[in-house]
Amino acid sequence: MKTIVANWKMNLGVPSSVAHFVRLSEQIATNDNVEVVLCPTYLALQTLNLENQNGQFKLGAQNCNAEDAGALTGEVSAEMLVGVASHVIVGHSERRKKYGETDHDVNQKLLAVLRHNLTPILCIGEDKGESATDVLRQQLDGGLTGVNTRQIGQVIIAYEPIAAIGSGHAPNVGDIARVVEVIKSQLTYMFGRNISAKILYGGSVDDRNAENILLINGIDGLLVGGASLDAPKFAKIVEIAKARA
C-alpha cells in the first residue's frame, strides 16, 4: 500500500481547510492500495476529524512538542493529538532551519509520537552542497535513537532534499534511487535485516513526476506540499499511486 501525505503547511484557515477537504473527498476515492494522510493546521484537525467520519482519509499534524504537558506557551503535545490525528510530521527541514530544531529535538518529538501510539513521519534531507550520505546517516542515527526494532515498523521516513522543496525541480529518479539505498542500508545497520520502515519521497512532487518517482524501488509513497493545495492535481497523484500499489 502506498502512502500519500499532504503537507498543507501554514496555508488554509479552518473554513478553507474544510472547503479543501470537501473538494478532495469528492475527487478522491481511497482503497486498499493507498492511504492518504492530510496534514492541515492544528486548528482544523478536530473539525476535519468530524468531517472524516467514514475514515476516507487519515489526518496528521505538522509538528508537536516532545513534552506531554507543562508551561510551554503556544505548544501542542503529541498527547493532545491523540484522537484527532493518527500521524505527526517531525523534523521537517523548515522547522530544522527556521526554528533551529536539532536531531536531538527531532528525536524527542519522534519518541513522544511513538509513546502515544501515533505514526511519526520523520523528514530527513541534505541541503545544497552537503553530502546526502553523511547527512542522512546522521539524521537517521540522531532521529531514531531509542527506537526499538518493534517501533521502527511504525515509523515513516520522508526523504526531502532541501533544494527540491518548493523549487519545482525534483532530482532525477536515479539520484533518488541511490539515496533510498543509503537510507535502507543505514536502517539495516541500525535495526537489522527485517526492518520495515516505509520510505517516502518529498520535494516538488506533482502530477507529472509522481509516477516515475513511485516506480523507484523502495519508494512507498510521497510527501506533497504545494501540489496538495490543488485538488485536481492532488487527486491525480493519488490515482497514480493507486495504480502503482
Interaction between residue 44 and ligand PGA (CB under 6 A): no
160 is annotated as an active-site residue: yes
Residue 54: all three cell numbers together: 467514514
Give min distance, CB of 66 to ligand PGA, in A: 21
Could you tell me which stretch among 73-81, 148-156, 188-196, 197-205 binds ligand PGA (CB under 6 A)? 197-205
The one among 120, 161, 202, 221 contacting ligand PGA by CB under 6 A:
202
Q: 170-208 b/e with 16+ CB inside 10 Å = b? A: bbebeebbebbebbbebbeebbeeeeebbbbbbbbbbbe
Closer to ligand PGA by CB, 191 or 228: give it.
228
Closer to ligand PGA by CB, 37 or 191: give it.
37
User: Cell 501510539, residue?
Assistant: 117
User: Cell 494522510, residue?
Assistant: 37
> What residues contact residue 178 under an 8 Å CB cut-off, 6+ apart?
none
Interaction between residue 171 and ligand PGA (CB under 6 A): no
Give min distance, CB of 184 to ligand PGA, in A: 21
Could you tell me which stretch among 17-25, 147-155, 191-199, 224-232 binds ligand PGA (CB under 6 A)? 224-232
CA pair distance 105, 110, nearest whole angstrom: 9
- Binding residues for ligand PGA, total number by CB under 6 A: 13
Interaction between residue 62 and ligand PGA (CB under 6 A): no
Which residue among 20, 92, 94, 126 is the active-site one?
Answer: 92
The one among 183, 203, 207, 220 contacting ligand PGA by CB under 6 A:
203
Closer to ligand PGA by CB, 40 or 202: give it.
202
CA pair distance 171, 47, nearest whole angstrom: 36
Closer to ligand PGA by CB, 143 or 225: give it.
225
Interaction between residue 143 and ligand PGA (CB under 6 A): no
92 is annotated as an active-site residue: yes
Contacts to ligand PGA by CB under 6 A: 7, 160, 165-166, 202-205, 223-227
Residues serving a catalytic function are: 92, 160
